[in-house]
Amino acid sequence: MKIRYLLDENISPRIALGLQRLSSQIDVLRVGDADAPSLETKDPDILRYCDLNQRLLVTGDRASMPKHLEEHWAEGGHLWGILWVRPNTPLGVLIQELHFIWDASEAEEWIDATDWIPF
């Protein structure tokens, strides 16, 4: 199965547009979009949404998300991956990295995995 992304609300909406320009087949939602959690949704609810909807989370939230991720795992939850965006990453680099990940891997490879991008 191909990766399905959920961009946290702290990720620019231009990332989703850039990914769609590279490939219309990429399934990418951003918090606040239709069929995605609403803006200001709490981290635990974002993690549950990603678990239930098989979406890899892309976030820049290094303050609160790690604690909530540990709690999610402690409660028996799973994820389809989290990619932590390094500070000051140019949009073009982020778009290329996400496209590469989508193109080169399958969703199942990211279950309960976390990584930083750019690599």
Give domain limits for the chain: 4-117
What is residue 59's predicted lDDT score, i.e. its pLDDT?
A: 96
What is residue 119's predicted lDDT score, i.e. its pLDDT?
A: 82
Of 84, 91, 108, the C-alpha closest to 3 is 108
Helix H or strand E segment including 59: strand 56-59
Of 22, 20, 26, 35, the C-alpha closest to 5 is 26
The CATH label, of 3.30.160, 3.30.2010, 1.10.3470, 3.40.50, for the domain at 4-117 is 3.40.50
To the question of pTM greater than 0.75 for the whole model, the response is: yes
What is residue 62's predicted lDDT score, i.e. its pLDDT?
A: 84
Low-confidence ranges of the chain (pLDDT < 50): none
Helix H or strand E segment including 35: none
